Structure 1
Amino acid sequence: MGNPIAVLGGGSWGTALAHLLAHAGHDVTLLLRDAAQAAHINAHHENPRYLRGVPLHPGIRAVAGSMGGPEQAAALEGVGILVLSVPCQALRAALRGLAGAVPPDCVLVNTAKGIEVSELVTAESMVRDELPGHLSRYAVLSGPSFALEVASCKPTAVVLGCRDERLGARLREVFSAPWFRAYSSSDVPGVELGGAIKNVIAIAAGLSDGLGFGLNARAALVTRGLAETSRLGVALGARASTFMGLSGLGDLMLTCSGDLSRNRQVGLRLGAGETLNAIAASMNMVAEGVKTTQAVYRLAQQLGVDMPVTTAMYGVLYGNVPPREAVQALMSRQLKEE
């Protein structure tokens, strides 16, 4: 058996990664809150709430318990890698709850794609605040990867952001399987920000499609969205080249065009006339881009970075701007060089 690994979070992505890691030969424990869900996974090797009908690797052991509680603490003993697969806005509380339960030499691999609204920071900063002893062993996994396709063993490539290049190289090996290829990058800010901001652009692309504006409009939004993502990323210390890779352009293409994207679905439904409250109430999984839009807009304002697509989405989501008016306003901006 390979590395002892725990995955925190029994949603679609946490479950898919547990499945992948078990296939790669590791001893995998899936930590979640719902005892009935854990029992079903252990007995039937399926997560009916998030990946119904998808058979899971029988080697996954699901453990239910409160965050940092005795069940989770016992399950974390001897674990060398902890995969954090909880929504971005809930991550700080999760890290705080885990203090004292995570083995001192454990590597943390975050998979949430977002920016915390309250503090305007990414996951690396949350780890620095809440589990500072693990900061040197922090990595983030991102890239074009729908959970359903990973759980279905379909070919996928991702990138692991890790400042320690040797640790990044080791994690590449841990996460790789015949259908899952992991690259590494030392640009942690770039990998984190690309994965977060693409969700904002995906809402815009879905909204445009929902309004029937066509493929030309979607391509324009994706391209200009990538440009403003790179501008903010560079202002926050990332490398511009990272946004042309898997966690930038790759994830952006997938999320803006694939109908499995929750953020794209939010945009489609907004464009069709539904309200944000109605959409949120009907979804059983988090669309990170809704909260991330607010965080990215505020960061751009603070740093003086021009982000017109994000500004338009902020107006729709938080300023009651009609969707059609927001997209048309983008088309009527002052003409300039690309």
Structure 2
Amino acid sequence: MAKVAVLGAGSWGTALGIVLADNGHDVRLWTHRKEQADAINLTHKNENYLEIMIPEQIKAYHDLQEAITNVEAIVIVVPTKAIREVCKNLNGLLDSSSATLIHASKGIEPISLKRVSQMIEEEMEGYQYEDIVVLSGPSHAEEVAKRQPTTVTVSSVNRSNAKIAQDLFINESFRVYTSTDMVGIELGGALKNIIALGAGISDGLGYGDNAKAALITRGLAEIARLGTSLGANPLSFLGLPGVGDLIVTCTSVHSRNWRAGNLLGKGNKLEEVLDQMGMVVEGVRTTKAAYQFAKKQQVEMPITTGIYQILFEDKNPKDVVEQLMNRNKREEMEDLAALLRSINTK
């Protein structure tokens, strides 16, 4: 069995650590907070994130050097805003680039508009883009930690690296598929958080299932439009990290993006919402990046634009809904035809 370091002891990092421990691997769970590492080792709980006992074979670390010594794989599960810092810290500590590098973070960096794999490639010495694997899909940490059936995708342009990641994680409750479309997998996982904010806003406003179904469907069209403009395989958005992740994030109270949107829809300001959440809401940062991306790529993203206006221009959510409902008339098949054309050119 492998020695694996999981960097990031939030809910998702802890849940992935549990999957790896169930598979018999030696798991080192790293956190930048010493008190959290001590509490995990003492109580085998991570109470601020998950209400579940952590297997005893998971050992928590505060010292990054100790956590990564002699490991065969490193799983990065920190918020996107911390990716560059963690990678820079790894550079001075890794003896070589022999460890398989997997990330399970979902987001896009504002201003640079880089995906997580691109940020890692820029910061990590000895690792190239093809060395990186991304793990994504419809996977609430709370359910993964309870060993409830979950299916995800691991993606790398290097098939052998994707296969290594698949073998590390796959078991009877955590099924893992492989893909080579890193662009589509990462964008699907990041952009769905924007639509989940919108779904929460819709529910917070008291709208029903009709509105949410429309939001999810038209949101998928936006994701596919932007993704294909950046070279993603359009079929990826019809798979687990696309429509699968979109559905689960937009319809579950486990979703912190849905919860944040719900509070916004009920009239709370963004600063108040973030204070109440107490955890990173990736959709907020990703909305800013996607709004910039849409302008750069000249891609129409009206839902993303509306959510950007709510988050950063203090626009009333009801006014944004009215704005979306009163857009110019158009033919729905236009989007589907464009998607099919993209598929046929792949």
Pick the aligned partner of 1:86 from 78, 82, 85.
78
Task: Establish whether residue 216 from structure 1 lines up as the match of residue 210 from structure 2.
Answer: yes
* Residue number in structure 1 paired with 2:342: none
TM-score normalised per structure 2? 0.93
Is the counterpart of residue 163 in structure 1 residue 146 in structure 2? no
The match for 2:55 among 54, 57, 71 is 57
Offset at residue 119 of structure 1 (A): 1.1
Structure 1 vs Structure 2 CA RMSD: 1.0
Determine if contact 2:107/2:189 at 8 Å carries over to the other structure. yes
- 8 Å Cα contact 1:30/1:60 also seen in 2: yes
1:301 aligns with 2:295: yes
Gaps of 5+ in 2: 333-346
Q: Give the residue type in structure 1 aligned to 2:60.
A: A
Task: After TM superposition, give the deviation of residue 132 of structure 1 in Å.
Answer: 4.7
Alignment-derived partner of residue 231 in structure 2:
237
Structure 2 residue matching 1:134: 3-state secondary structure: coil
Does structure 1 residue 334 correspond to structure 2 residue 325? no
After superposition, residues 104-143 of structure 1 pair within 5 angstroms as 104-135=97-128, 136-143=130-137
Amino acid at match of 1:256: C
Task: Write the mapping of 1:161-310 to structure 2, written as runs, cut at 5 A.
Answer: 161-310=155-304
Q: Which amino acid aligns with 1:56?
A: I
State the shift of 1:140 in Å. 0.7
Q: Distance in 2 between matches of 1:334 and 1:249?
A: 26
Determine the C-alpha separation between the residues in 2 that align with 1:30 and 1:206.
32
Q: Distance in 1 between matches of 2:145 and 2:194?
A: 25
Name the counterpart of 2:34.
Answer: 35
d(CA) in 2 for partners of 1:265, 1:72: 32
Distance 1:259 1:74 in 2: 36
The answer to whether the 8 A contact 2:104-2:136 is kept is: yes
Q: Structure 1 residue 141: deviation in Å?
A: 0.6
Segment of structure 1 superposing worse, 131-140 or 9-18:
131-140
Tell me if structure 2 keeps the 8 A contact 1:79–1:106: yes
Q: Distance in 1 between matches of 2:278 and 2:13?
A: 15
What are the Cα deviations for residues 153-172 of structure 1, in whole angstroms up to 9, with x where unaligned? 11100001111112212211
2: CA distance between counterparts of 1:148 and 1:280? 20
CA distance in 1, matches of 2:307, 2:262: 13
The AA in structure 1 aligned to 2:110 is: V
The 3-state SS of whatever aligns with 1:294 is helix
CA distance in 2, matches of 1:48, 1:269: 23
Say if 2:193 and 2:283, in contact at 8 Å, map to a contact too: yes
Contact preservation (8 Å) 2:100, 2:161 = no
Percent of aligned pairs sharing the same letter: 43
Letter paired with 1:89: K
Bigger shift: 253-262 or 117-126?
117-126
Q: Is the 8 A contact 2:197 2:283 kept in 1?
A: yes
Q: Which amino acid aligns with 1:111?
A: A
Letter in 2 for 1:215: D
DSSP-derived class of the 1:82 partner: strand
Instruction: Give 1:272 deviation, angstroms.
Output: 0.7
Question: Could you say which residue in structure 2 is the equivalent of 1:68?
Answer: none
1: distance between equivalents of 2:300 and 2:67? 46
Q: Which runs of 5+ in 1 are unaligned?
A: 65-70
Q: Contact 1:107/1:134 (CA < 8 Å) preserved in 2? A: no
Q: Report deviation, 1:75.
A: 2.6
Q: Distance in 2 between matches of 1:202 and 1:157?
A: 19
User: 307, 311, 320: which one pairs with 2:314?
Assistant: 320
2: CA distance, partners of 1:207 / 1:75: 40
For 1:302, what is the secondary structure of its paired residue? helix
Structure 1 residue aligned with 2:335: none
**Structure 1 partner of 2:13:** 14
Find the counterpart in structure 2 of residue 67 from structure 1. Answer: none
| 1:294 partner letter | K
Equivalent residue letter for 2:222: E
Q: Is the 8 A contact 2:78 2:105 kept in 1?
A: yes
Distance in structure 1 (CA, Å) of the matches to 2:285 and 2:164: 33
Aligned residues between the structures? 330
Q: CA deviation at 1:49?
A: 1.7
SS at match of 2:216: helix
The offset of 1:239, in angstroms, is 0.5
> What amino acid does structure 2 have at the position aligned with 1:265?
R
2:144 pairs, out of 139, 145, 150, with 150
| Deviation beyond 3 Å, 4+ runs, structure 1 | none
1:259 & 1:9 partners in 2: Cα distance?
22
The answer on whether the counterparts of 1:106 and 1:137 sit within 8 Å (CA) in structure 2 is no
Whole-angstrom CA distance in 2 between matches of 1:306 and 1:164: 32
Distance across 1 between alignment mates of 2:182 and 2:166: 15
